[in-house]
Amino acid sequence: MSGHRTYINLGLGACLSASLSAFAADAPTVHVYNWFDYIGPTTLKDFQRDTGINPVYDTFDSGEVLEAKLMTGHSGYDVVVASNFILPALIKAGALQKLDRSQLTNLQHIDPVLLEKLRANDPDNQYAVPYLWGTDGIGYNVDKVRAALGDQAPVNSWDLLFKEENLAKLSQCGVGVLDAPAEIIPIALHYLGLPPNSSNPADYKKAEALLLKLRPYITYFNSSKIQTDLANGDICVALTWSGTVFGAMQAANEAAKGVKIEYSIPVEGAPLWSDNLVMVKDGSNPQQGLAFINYLLRPEVIAPATNLALTANANKEATALLSDEVHKFSNIYPSAEVIAKAFTLQPQPHEIERVRTRSWSNIKNGQ
């Protein structure tokens, strides 16, 4: 979800933006803000060639940065990619423009199941179109987890991480957890049989107690180190985003040092997140923004984004165009049963957010 990419090539957006801007200074423009390495390698050039619109493209690496810019207003952007989790706050603040669906002819390609999941954050699918999506789950080093817990290690269950006796053994080979209270605490609530989007402060004390019990065995809370550390074998298990684990799998395969990484979505259910195309309310180029969104909804345009980011897209017709590597990583596209059990995270009232922030501080500090 917010901030769930750990990819390199931070300068890609700036380089493309500069070169494209110089190429078509007088053309109509669209200003776009997206995660880095989250679009097909030739998509911006192709869009300009096919439409005559000049995309001015910037990238970010933190959902908090995006949210702050949009909440402040006058961001200068027309189209941004926003996680489902922050949509309610953006909608409530009047930061987003309703989509003119009559101009989005390629909406027909979007999976209705994912549109339905998105309704939890965008009730009538009025503001957002799902672009890329994934899950929170468990990335693990197959051999090291087997060595620590034996052949019957519960790798497909949250028990792997939330049962103290398991985590104590895994701590010997390294445990990484996202520094993301808005995701980790709801997962703990769900594990305890409580509503992941609970607004009851007492529930958060129970989740805090569970995580404090586990805290001595967690090597670190960090959202950016996990991919590299998993790939190198420096940690053996992580609670993290799907795209991070697939990136680690790819890196480990390329390094060919015998590090075997897998990703599991626990059978009890896990968060499903989506990064969505939205239009900024005060954007200067609404027509060009709609044209850009509609272009990204083409199957042949969105497939390369999935191939690069190793993250599923919401386009039904794009599946046949995906790389062999994407098809090989089975959990990039979970089964219908897994999706049905997945839950969508929602922002909480301010007083609950304060409770959660305080709990997270206690958990990280181990007190």
Q: What is the CATH number of the domain that holds 77?
A: 3.40.190.10
Residue 185 shares a structural domain with residue 212? yes
Q: Report the chain's terminal Cα–Cα distance, integer Å.
A: 27
Q: Could you give the number of structural domains in the chain?
A: 2
Write out the residue range of the structural domain in which residue 256 sits. 135-271+345-365
- β 220-221/29-35 pair status: unpaired
Mean pLDDT of 236-250: 96
At 286-304, the pLDDT tens digits run 999 999 999 999 999 999 9
Residue 302 shares a structural domain with residue 196? no
Residue 142 shares a structural domain with residue 126? no
| Domain presence at residue 1 | no
Share the mean pLDDT of the chain.
92
Residue 144 shares a structural domain with residue 158? yes
In the three-class reduction of DSSP (H, G, I as helix; E, B as strand; rest coil), residue 352 is classed as helix
- β 128-141/237-241 pair status: antiparallel
| Domain presence at residue 6 | no
Per-residue pLDDT, 17 = 52
- Residue 134 pLDDT level (bands cut at 50, 70, 90): very high
Whether the per-residue pLDDT at 324 is higher than 60: the answer is yes
CA nearest to 29, candidates 77, 100, 72: 77
pTM of the complete model? 0.90
Residue 227 shares a structural domain with residue 295? no
Which positions ≥6 away from 110 have C-beta within 8 Å? 129, 130, 297, 314, 315, 316
Per-residue pLDDT, 3 = 41
| Domain presence at residue 339 | no
**Can you spell out the DSSP letters for 260-308?**
-EEEE--TT--BEEEEEEEEETT-S-HHHHHHHHHHHTSHHHHHHHHHH
Phi-psi region of 333 (alpha: psi -120 to 50; beta: other; left: phi over 0): beta
Residue 329 shares a structural domain with residue 204? no
317 vs 299: CA distance, rounded Å: 6
Per-residue pLDDT, 8 = 37
At 346-358, the pLDDT tens digits run 988 999 999 999 9
In the three-class reduction of DSSP (H, G, I as helix; E, B as strand; rest coil), residue 265 is classed as coil
Residue 139 shares a structural domain with residue 250? yes
Whether the per-residue pLDDT at 235 is higher than 60: the answer is yes
| In 122-271, beta strands by DSSP E | 128-141, 175-177, 220-221, 237-241, 261-264
| Domain presence at residue 2 | no
Residue 267 shares a structural domain with residue 288? no
| Domain presence at residue 327 | yes
| Domain presence at residue 358 | yes
Residue 233 shares a structural domain with residue 285? no
Whether the per-residue pLDDT at 178 is higher than 90: the answer is yes
- β 312-313/29-35 pair status: unpaired
Residue 85 shares a structural domain with residue 221? no
Q: What is the largest CA-CA distance in the chain?
A: 64
| Domain presence at residue 338 | no
Residue 119 shares a structural domain with residue 139? no
CA nearest to 296, candidates 30, 65, 8: 30
Beta bridge partners of 71: none
Burial 127-144 (b: 16+ CB within 10 A, else e): bbbbbbbbbbbbbbbeeb
Residue 145 shares a structural domain with residue 126? no
Whether the per-residue pLDDT at 84 is higher than 60: the answer is yes
| Domain presence at residue 241 | yes
Whether the per-residue pLDDT at 6 is higher than 50: the answer is no
